[in-house]
């Protein structure tokens, strides 16, 4: 389809269009597309459910919308096509009494989007369960499989962020047949008895519901910034000025600090600008009410500049910007 509006395909609800929009439902579609791309040298972008992209303008090229479906479960191993919805996969695994995904309940997006930024929530990351990620390299037409080490997962990072020519087709996960609740994360209440993974899932969904803003009500991409990682020297300097700074140990010389805390400290929680703002519920979430990206990009830059000035800390964007 040509000149299609992308409004219903990105959770910020930007009204940009693409020259060409193609929905892929099979590997054959992808191999054929790869041939065409190599011949025509057309620019392309891969789209899952559009919950972690910031589209900056009309896209001059092909948007490839993922519709690959199918889940196969054998024993404790789960193979999922990348076009499946992430939370549907979490539900299916719980129904099959396979455990591990419960803390990742309610994260929007596709299964194929999950390894890109190594989705994480409430003390768990998807990389904890990934055996391999299968891809089709659209620039060569080759099938390429990445084992766990080759995926180079870290906090909201993977090799795939640097290789946008790889279309993730399938992911193999290993889950546990034994339910072991992971309740260490600070915002999970400690005073309730947990006897099932379903209970953990409902607690997580309740917390998410209270803290996060649904894109249907206020268009957003979840966290707009990553939590910055700083050195021990920098941390000590900040702690001497701000004893209430929220931070987490990574290793002896690396500490993660809370980007939400930084934004609150510059007084921008709930801040409103023209057609966009910082969520009143969660200061890492920027909400958009405009059809174009300029305002939210200005707002994100304003936040970054104020934080550099006050704390000498650089915030990094979490979503992928595409143009």
Ligand X SMILES: Cc1cc2nc3c(=O)[nH]c(=O)nc-3n(C[C@H](O)[C@H](O)[C@H](O)COP(=O)(O)OP(=O)(O)OC[C@H]3O[C@@H](n4cnc5c(N)ncnc54)[C@H](O)[C@@H]3O)c2cc1C
Catalogue the long-range contacts made by 233-239 (C-beta closer than 8 Å, 24 or more residues apart).
234/312, 234/313, 238/311, 238/313
User: Per CB under 6 A, which region of 15-23, 102-110, 147-155, 193-201 contacts ligand X?
Assistant: 102-110
Concatenated DSSP letters of 203-230: HHHHHHHHHS--TTTS---SBSBPPPEE
Number of neighbouring beta carbons within 10 Å of residue 208: 17
CA distance 138 to 256: 35
Among 34, 52, 288, 300, binds ligand X (CB under 6 A): 52
Decide: is 212 part of the binding site for ligand X (CB under 6 A).
yes
Closest approach, Cβ 117 to ligand X, in A, equals 5
User: Is 71 in contact with 96 (CB distance < 8 Å)?
Assistant: no
φ, ψ dihedrals at 201, nearest 5° = -60, -45
* Residue 215 is a binding residue for ligand X (CB under 6 A): yes
> Which one of 22-30, 50-58, 225-233, 295-303 is the stretch in contact with ligand X (CB under 6 A)?
50-58
How near is the Cβ of 322 to ligand X at its closest, in Å?
7
CA atoms 106, 107, 113, 119: torsion sign: negative
Among this protein's residues, is 150 annotated catalytic?
no
In angstroms, the CA 283 to CA 303 distance is 11
Catalytic residue among 223, 279, 283, 300: 223
Which residue in the set 37, 146, 222, 271 belongs to the binding site for ligand X (CB under 6 A)? 222
**Which residue stretch of 109-117, 175-183, 262-270, 292-300 sits at the interface with ligand X (rule: CB under 6 A)?**
109-117
- Out of 100, 112, 228, 277, the residue judged to bind ligand X by CB under 6 A: 112
Show Cβ contacts of residue 29 under 8 Å, excluding neighbours closer than 6 positions.
22
158 makes contact with ligand X (CB under 6 A): no
* Contact with ligand X (CB under 6 A) among 108, 262, 265, 282: 108
Q: Which stretch binds ligand X (CB under 6 A): 112-120, 182-190, 237-245, 275-283?
A: 112-120
114 touches ligand X (CB under 6 A): yes
Nearer to ligand X, 54 or 303 (CB): 54
Q: Strand (E) positions, 142-226?
A: 142-147, 166-174
- The answer to whether the CB of 17 falls within 8 A of the CB of 61 is no
- Choice between 227 and 230, CB closer to ligand X: 227
Q: Does 220 bind ligand X (CB under 6 A)?
A: yes
| 46 is a contact residue toward ligand X (CB under 6 A) | yes
Cα-to-chain-centroid distance, residue 213: 15
Q: Which residues of this protein are in contact with ligand X, per CB under 6 A? A: 11, 45-53, 66, 82, 107-110, 112-114, 116-117, 119-121, 166-168, 212, 215, 220-222, 320
- Residues with a catalytic annotation lie at 156, 223, 318
């Amino acid at each position: 389809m040509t000149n299609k509006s992308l409004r219903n395909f990105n959770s910020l609800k930007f009204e940009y269009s693409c020259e060409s929009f193609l929905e892929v439902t099979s590997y054959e579609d992808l191999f054929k597309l790869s041939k065409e791309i190599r011949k025509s040298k057309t620019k392309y972008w891969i789209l899952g459910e559009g919950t972690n992209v910031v589209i900056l303008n009309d896209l001059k090229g092909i948007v490839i919308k993922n519709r690959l479906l199918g889940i196969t479960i054998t024993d404790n191993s789960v193979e999922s096509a990348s076009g499946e919805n992430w939370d549907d996969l979490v539900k299916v695994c719980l129904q099959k009494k396979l455990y591990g995904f419960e803390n990742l309940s309610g994260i929007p997006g596709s299964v194929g989007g999950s390894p890109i930024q190594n989705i994480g929530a409430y003390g768990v990351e998807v990389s904890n369960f990934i055996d391999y990620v299968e891809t089709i390299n659209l620039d060569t037409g080759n099938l390429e499989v990445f084992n766990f080490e080759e995926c180079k997962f870290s906090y909201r990072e993977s090799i795939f962020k640097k290789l946008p020519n790889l279309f993730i087709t399938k992911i193999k996960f290993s889950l546990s047949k034994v339910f072991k609740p992971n309740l260490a994360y600070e915002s999970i209440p400690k005073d309730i008895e947990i006897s099932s993974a379903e209970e953990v899932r409902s607690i997580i969904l309740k917390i998410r519901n209270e803290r996060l803003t649904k894109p249907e009500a206020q268009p957003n991409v979840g966290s707009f910034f990553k939590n910055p990682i700083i050195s021990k020297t920098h941390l000590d300097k900040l702690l001497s000025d701000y004893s209430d700074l929220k931070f987490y140990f990574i290793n002896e010389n690396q500490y993660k600090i809370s980007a939400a805390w930084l934004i609150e400290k510059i007084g921008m929680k709930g801040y409103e600008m023209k057609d966009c703002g910082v969520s009143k519920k969660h200061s890492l979430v920027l909400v958009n009410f405009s059809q174009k990206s300029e305002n939210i990009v200005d707002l994100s830059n304003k936040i970054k500049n104020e934080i550099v000035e006050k704390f000498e800390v650089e915030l990094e964007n979490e979503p992928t910007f595409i143009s």
